[in-house]
Amino acid sequence: MAAELEVYISGTYHKKSEAKISVYDHGLLYGDGVFEGLRAYSGNVFRLTEHIDRLYDSARAICLQIPMEKAAMAEAVNETIARNGLSDAYVRLVVTRGAGSLGIDPERTSDPQVIIIADHIALYPKEMYENGLAIITSATIRNHPAALNPRIKSLNYLNNVMAKLEGKLAGCEEALMLNHKGEVAECTGDNIFIVRRGELLTPPIDAGILDGITRGAVLDLAGQLDIPMRETALTRHDIYIPDECFLTGSAAEVIPVIRVDDRPIGDGKVGPVTKRLAAAFHELVRKS
């Protein structure tokens, strides 16, 4: 059996089964913290700088001071992957507010914890990448941007967990979340794209979504491949009539969607633009 994985916690490594933080940590008590999900391909972390920048932006937005420099954080991510002998890996980077008192007050916490877990992830079965996935629209809306802005990748994901649960209860692996205006926002852990008459469309960041790094990479690729694209507000109507639909995320990569709310997308098969972009994305992650 392979040696037990080791988890980085604030400067030291602990066996996975022994990696622990305080039950008084506000990350646990209140979801008070931030996180990132990254992927390494052949030992190289895809868009590491962008993930680290987003982590520090999320932390800044909640007035959480990460107790290390960005360069040291990047080094710790690479070291955790190497130390565990991983080459293709998923990395979960978490920064909690730290242990405090039994009240919300963030000023009564000390010692934010930095946790880095490098492991394997298989979010969706292989069959779904080939044949596409079915999603539903959840009744749970994405966080109102004036509450917890969805650009902050915070540990407070219960809203998304509830939407995911709605999906699972309906027999779907993902669920679409609308924003407070009733427009399409994103899925519980993935951004959404549609293709209509050859044009690639996705909601803008101000629809109240996470500024996904895979989303950005796919938009770049569309530019390079001369696929017309536009960031624009989308409604459920748009999601019911496109030729193609797919989701993007660090864990999910590019995954086709073939049914929304039990309605077939296009001819119900994975479309050519989705296939092209998925292939280009796989090529990109391998060469960067």
Binding residue (CB under 6 A) for ligand PMP from 167, 189, 242, 266: 189
From 15, 126, 153, 287, the catalytic residue: 153
Nearer to ligand PMP, 26 or 215 (CB): 215
For position 210 contacting ligand PMP by CB under 6 A, the verdict is yes
Do residues 202 and 184 lie in contact, with contact meaning Cβ atoms separated by under 8 Å? no
Neighbours of 16 (CB within 10 A): 12
Q: Which stretch binds ligand PMP (CB under 6 A): 108-116, 168-176, 210-218, 236-244?
A: 210-218
Nearer to ligand PMP, 99 or 285 (CB): 285
Q: Is 153 tagged catalytic?
A: yes
Binding residue (CB under 6 A) for ligand PMP from 37, 203, 242, 256: 37
In three-state secondary structure terms, 94 is strand
| 215: Cα separation from own chain's centroid | 10
User: Token pair of 155, please?
Assistant: 């540990």
CB of 4 to ligand PMP, least distance (A): 26
Nearer to ligand PMP, 58 or 248 (CB): 248
For position 256 contacting ligand PMP by CB under 6 A, the verdict is no
Nearer to ligand PMP, 97 or 215 (CB): 215
**What's the half-sphere exposure (Cβ side, CA atoms, 13 Å) at 256?**
28
For position 109 contacting ligand PMP by CB under 6 A, the verdict is no
Instruction: Report the interhelical angle of 48-61 vs 70-83 (nearest 10°).
Output: 120
CB of 25 to ligand PMP, least distance (A): 21
| Cα angle 83-113-3, degrees, rounded to a multiple of 5 | 25
Binding residue (CB under 6 A) for ligand PMP from 40, 128, 213, 227: 213
- The CA distance from 29 to 21, in Å, is 12
For position 186 contacting ligand PMP by CB under 6 A, the verdict is yes
Task: Report the interface residues with ligand PMP, using CB under 6 A.
Answer: 37, 160, 186, 189-191, 210, 212-215, 248-251
User: Which positions are catalytic?
Assistant: 153
